Structures are given as structure tokens and as C-alpha cells.
Amino acid sequence: MIKVTRLDGKQYWINPHQIERIEKNPDVTLLMLNGSKLVIREEPDEVINQIIEYRKKIGGFKNEE
């Protein structure tokens, strides 16, 4: 799980494997596979780095190298 912060300051932990895409217009929006959207404070690079660290932690890169 990765931690994201909504614009109202509430923090959420989400499964990064459920993120379909990240948009910046100008707010950063996570579009989830189930169709929901989360507008967050983090920049796209921060989210991507969190996903990379999470996947390293769970061994998600072993068969991707």
C-alpha cells in the first residue's frame, strides 16, 4: 500500500496495483481501475517513487528485470 493525501488533508493508503493512470490538470488525479478518482496533493513523481519502493519491498521486480 502507498500513502496519498487528498486535498482536504485526509491521508489514505491505496493499492498501487489498482491505479490505471495518473493525470495532472493542474491537480494530480489518480484514476483507479474501478473508475473512481482521487485528487491528491502528491506530485506524480512522488507517487511513482512510492510505487517503485512498494514493489521492491514486496519483491515485485524480481521477474521484471
Rounded CA-CA distance 1/34 in Å is 17
Asked if the structure places residue 6 within a domain, the reply is yes
Q: What are phi and psi of 50, to 5 degrees?
A: -65, -40
Band (59; pLDDT cuts 50, 70, 90): confident
Rounded CA-CA distance 31/20 in Å is 6
User: pTM for this one?
Assistant: 0.85
Asked if the structure places residue 19 within a domain, the reply is yes
Range of the domain at 33: 2-44
Asked if the structure places residue 54 within a domain, the reply is no
Rounded CA-CA distance 65/60 in Å is 10
pLDDT of residue 45: 98
Asked if the structure places residue 62 within a domain, the reply is no
Asked if the structure places residue 53 within a domain, the reply is no
Q: What are phi and psi of 22, to 5 degrees?
A: -120, 130
Band (63; pLDDT cuts 50, 70, 90): low
Number of domains composing the chain: 1
Band (60; pLDDT cuts 50, 70, 90): low
